[in-house]
Amino acid sequence: MNNTTLHSAGTEGQLAWYAAVAYEDLAFNTGKTIRCDATEVALFKLSSGTIRAIQNRCPHKDGVLAEGIVAGEHVFCPMHDRKIDLMSGLVQAPDTGCVTTYPVRIEDGQIYIGLPAAKEMAS
């Protein structure tokens, strides 16, 4: 669309892989909002260089997770400070809940996100 050029990649099993951004273009510990129709994904590059992708809304009160403070393997929701594990999507104790996590892979410096393909098959 208008912001960044993108193209959809092929489907694989239940997932459809989409090119999101170039690995180099992602700032460390700063969430990036990725929109795909009604789905919003928060994409992170951790201090370790690892890429993580999770659903962009906190299960507690819909806080925007891409804007949270990233610490190690966790993000803190900017709304009410829920601490969420970026690997498992689990909200950390004493709070409860979890967010959807999405698989990512990097090819030729490009980050791809795997989103459920059901929608595409239906259309």
| Separation CA 56–CA 65 (nearest Å) | 5
Rule CB under 8 A: say whether 24 interacts with another protein.
Answer: no
Tokens of 110: 């490009």
Rule CB under 8 A: say whether 61 interacts with another protein.
Answer: yes
Among 10, 24, 37, 122, binds another protein (CB under 8 A): 37
Contact, 16 vs 9, CB < 8 A? yes
Rule CB under 8 A: say whether 25 interacts with another protein.
Answer: yes
Contact, 74 vs 83, CB < 8 A? yes
Cβ neighbourhood burial of 14 (10 Å; 0-12, 13-18, 19+):
exposed
Rule CB under 8 A: say whether 119 interacts with another protein.
Answer: yes
| Separation CA 25–CA 5 (nearest Å) | 13
Rule CB under 8 A: say whether 78 interacts with another protein.
Answer: yes
Rule CB under 8 A: say whether 90 interacts with another protein.
Answer: no
Shortest distance, position 32 Cβ to another protein, whole Å: 6
Which residues in this chain contact another protein in the complex, by CB under 8 A?
A: 1-4, 6-8, 16, 18-21, 25, 27-30, 32-37, 47, 61-64, 67-74, 76, 78-79, 81, 83, 93-94, 96-97, 113, 115, 119-120
